[in-house]
Amino acid sequence: MKLHHSKHHQTYVNNLNKATQALKELVHNRDVAKQIELQSVIKFNGGGHINHSLFWQNLAPANDAAASGGKEIKREIERQFDSFDKFESQLTAALLGIQGSGWGWLVKQADGSLTIETTKDQDPIVKGAPLLGIDFWEHAYYIQYYNDKQSYVNNIYKVINWDTVEKRWNGTAHALKL
């Protein structure tokens, strides 16, 4: 995770900064074609920055109170998914079903419903509020777990900061304002 934070996440930040700087010049020079060309770079690196920022705040040490917090959101999850176990197994299935690189999410929709979503590469959640995001790129688990994705999922569930999830759910922490 140290490498993940200081190398991988940092690269997205550096590339996003470079791209937004370049965009300013292109706007100034009224080069619309080049601005459009730059959109995918901004989406990838901006998404990478947003997703990882959400991810780090989503984690807590296993024995930390925050890892067993979030009583209200857990009750809501039980209500909407029938049980917490059902929620976890649905999220696990979604994560293990990702082909290539991507993310698994718990999202609060505008009508209050909770949904499990996956996004490809570094696409961020832009519709609804992402409450919980799990990085499912190989770089997130390979050093520690090799190809054993299931163990990565099992262990990441032990270090979820449920207080953060709850704050995003009840609006006391803005999910996308970093």
In terms of CB distance, is 8 or 43 closer to Mn ion? 8
Query: What x-and-dash track marks residues 93-132 binding Mn ion by CB under 5 A?
Result: ----------------------------------------
Q: How many Å apart are CA 67 and CA 81, to the nearest integer? A: 20
Smallest separation, CB 8 to Mn ion (Å)? 5
Please name every residue paired with 132 in a beta bridge, in sequence order, or none if there are none. Answer: 106
Smallest separation, CB 2 to Mn ion (Å)? 13
| Residues 6 or more apart whose Cβ sits within 8 Å of residue 43 | 122, 123
Query: What x-and-dash track marks residues 53-92 binding Mn ion by CB under 5 A?
Result: ----------------------------------------
Residue span binding Mn ion (CB under 5 A) among the ranges 5-13, 24-32, 152-160, 161-169: 5-13
Of the candidates 149, 33, 60, the one whose C-alpha atom is nearest the C-alpha of residue 102 is: 149
135 binds Mn ion (CB under 5 A): yes
Please name every residue paired with 32 in a beta bridge, in sequence order, or none if there are none. Answer: none
Category of 93 on φ-ψ map: left (φ > 0), alpha (ψ -120 to 50) or beta: alpha
Judged by the rule CB under 5 A, the positions of this chain that interact with Mn ion are 8, 135, 137
